[in-house]
Amino acid sequence: MSALSCVASYQRRDLRAALRNGSFTLHLGPFSHLISGASEPLLDYLTDTYRDYPVELSPSDVTDVLLRLEAPNVLRRFVRRQITPNPGFKIPAVPLPLSMAPLAFEMGLNLSVALKCCRFINVHAGVVADETGAIVMSAASGAGKSTLTAALLQHGYRLFSDEFALIGLDQPLLHPYPRAISLKQETIPVVRDMVGDNWISKTVTGTPKGDIAYYRARASDVAQDKIPTKAKLVLFPNFEKGARPVARQLNPAEAIMRLVPASTNYSLLGEPAFHAVTGMLKNIRAYEITYGSTMDSLRLVEQITDQKLV
């Protein structure tokens, strides 16, 4: 694997050919992904947001994920071109205009990992870590999880993932899967102000979820994608406009019963998942935090971890 080169080291036409042949292979964290479907919007996106990610132009082995980005029908290959992710199983995906290829790509990868990969417990959560361990943040969309994740990255944390906490089955460690962070609607300008314009992708406008942009992962985070760590804190963030910052400690059993429904494969994995999740929560604390601003959320994390962040 050490011989892999990053996207930026290839010519665009070679990347295009590999996508067209269905031999473009993206390696990240524990997974390899075979992608097919060349389009200019996708190439624009990959050469920008995925520039630092290791790829092969022809796979050296079978891959965990097989994702085809294809037109929903022959007509839409030519007229008012559309694209839809095909992860190899039926999904309720709406065809998207070709310009939304980045969304189809991200959505397809998320669905593939969420529903196909079960060597880890997948919990829908943001995860960041420093040398003392990982913070797992599980929240419904709109609760400010992505903004908090982005903020913590500016304060000494590295990115594991903004979508998936991958918990190992043999040892309850978290495994990094640092894909780009998906930003929606009003979080786009917030994070742009925080991290600077050249870290944010072109905004995809008018998607079924409104405006979407992606915050590129740092090369250093991508480079550490094989280094797992133990959890140190579980948070259930909750953004409420104008809310006073409050942290409420949860009984670990309650925390687990809230993580379980956020997992796409906990019940599938049975006993090992029970051991892994209870193992992860052993000797660490869980909080529900409510806040009305990013600054407040950082202060709460600081109080809980006794770390100076702000």
Partner 1 sequence: MAAVPPTTGKKWSSDSRQYLAIEYDDTFLVYFRPSGETHFLNFLSYGMVDAVSSMPLSEEEILARMRTDFSLTAEELPEALVATTLSELDQAGLISALGAGA
Partner 2 sequence: MQKSALKQIVGIAPLPEKVMDRIDLVRYADANHILGQMASVDTAGVSDRLNDIFRNALLRAGHDHTMLQFEMNRLEHALSGTGIEPVVLKGGAYVAQGKRAAGGRRVSDLDILVTEGELDEVEARLKQAGWSPDEATDNEYDQAYYREHMHELPPLRHAKRGTIIDVHHRLLPKTARSNVDVALMQQSATRVAGTLVKTFDDVDMFIHSAVHAFADGAIDTPARSLVELYMLYSELSFNDTSRLQIRAKAVGASKPVSTALWAIDEFFSADGAPALLNKTLTEKPHFILRWAITSKTFERRLAPLAKALLYIRSHYLRMPLRLLVPHLARKAIAWRPSVQKPVELPFP
Tell me the window of 136-144, 167-175, 185-193, 255-263 that interacts with partner 1 (CB under 8 A): 255-263
64 binds partner 2 (CB under 8 A): yes
Shortest distance in whole angstroms from residue 192 CB to partner 2: 18
Residue holding tokens 């919990």?
A: 123
Contact partners, residue 219, CB within 8 Å, separation at least 6: 52
Which letter does DSSP use for residue 310 in this model? -
CA distance 212 to 217: 16
# binding residues, partner 2 (CB under 8 A): 40
Applying CB under 8 A, the span of 2-10, 46-54, 99-107, 150-158 interacting with partner 2 comes to: 99-107
Is residue 260 a contact residue for partner 1 (CB under 8 A)?
A: yes
Query: Which of partner 1, partner 2, none does residue 260 bind (CB under 5 to 8 Å by kind)?
Result: partner 1
Partner touching 190 among partner 1, partner 2, none, CB below 5 to 8 Å by kind: none
CB neighbour burial string for 15-35, b if at least 16 within 10 angstroms, e if fewer: bbebbeebebbbbbbbbbbbb
Instruction: Give, in order, the Cα–Cα distances in Å from 92 to each of 85, 108, 122, 217.
Output: 10, 11, 20, 28
With CB under 5 to 8 Å by kind, the binding choice for 256 among partner 1, partner 2, none is partner 1
Q: Least distance in Å: CB of 252 to partner 1?
A: 5
Q: Which partner, partner 2, partner 1, none, binds residue 10 by CB below 5 to 8 Å per kind?
A: none
User: How many chain residues bind partner 1 (CB under 8 A)?
Assistant: 13
Q: Is residue 278 near partner 1 by the rule CB under 8 A?
A: yes
β-strand partners of 164: 124
* Angle made by CA atoms 106, 268, 69, in degrees to the nearest 5: 20
Exactly one of 94, 140, 253, 310 binds partner 1 (CB under 8 A); that residue is 253
CB of 108 within 8 A of CB of 87? yes
Token pair 């993206």 is at which residue? 26
CB of 44 to partner 2, least distance (A): 19
Interactions with partner 1, residue window 232-251 (CB under 8 A): 251
Q: Left if phi > 0, otherwise alpha if psi is -120 to 50, otherwise beta: which for 138? A: beta
- Give the residue with the Cβ less far from partner 1, 10 or 274: 274
Residues within the interface to partner 1 (CB under 8 A): 251-254, 256-257, 260, 266-267, 270-271, 274, 278
